[in-house]
Amino acid sequence: MFQGLSQGATLYILYKNEPRMEKGRVITVNTHLPQFNPAQPQAMFNGMVTDLTVAVGNETIPFAGLPATASVANFPDKGIFVSEDQGLVINELTSMRDNSQRIVDSYDAHKILRDKCDALLLSLNPERQKEMQNAKEMEALRGELADLKRMLSAALGTKTKEE
């Protein structure tokens, strides 16, 4: 629990956006009742909070308002997960990896779904269908024009800009 940490204790910090983990050393610990915030009056009923100041390398990082009786805290806006227990960080990292694997595994199914949605949207929107047809025809004409340029160049024995 965060309230049980003392000066010099280790705090594990997982930077979820990278991912990378660093160990920090607790410099100060302050457990207290949370200050009243009119925007979040229910926070007063959540119990004590702990403020930590942690040294990571040459940097000092404050962590305010950690639940005093918890062993982990998540800061999704900063992409940071902290814990006093390395095993809990491993669990969080494993969960992140498993979630990413599910996303990767569903890639092909979602690609097929996207293609089917595109086809359905085209069939329901004749104007967009006409635009897509025109774009395909324009691309085909460009390809044919490039082929004709190469053939003409070869016949005349001259070089084109592309060569």
pTM: 0.67
Same domain, 125 and 88: no
Same domain, 99 and 118: no
Q: What's the order of all strands across the beta sheet hosting 49-56?
A: 59-67, 49-56, 20-32, 10-15, 80-83, 72-75
Residue 163 lies in a domain: no
Residue 87 lies in a domain: yes
Same domain, 10 and 85: yes
- How far is 151 from 163, CA to CA, in rounded Å? 12
Instruction: Report the interhelical angle of 126-156 vs 107-124 (nearest 10°).
Output: 100
Higher pLDDT, 33 or 146: 146
| Number of domains present in the structure of the chain | 2
Residue 75 lies in a domain: yes
Per-residue pLDDT reduced to its tens digit, 59-113: 999 999 899 999 999 999 999 999 999 999 999 999 999 999 999 999 999 999 9
Identify which of 4-8, 126-130, 151-155 has the greatest average pLDDT: 4-8
Same domain, 10 and 55: yes
Token match 């942690």: residue?
54
Residue 23 lies in a domain: yes
Token match 């940071």: residue?
80
Domain range for 15: 2-105
Same domain, 7 and 65: yes
Same domain, 123 and 150: yes
Residue 73 lies in a domain: yes
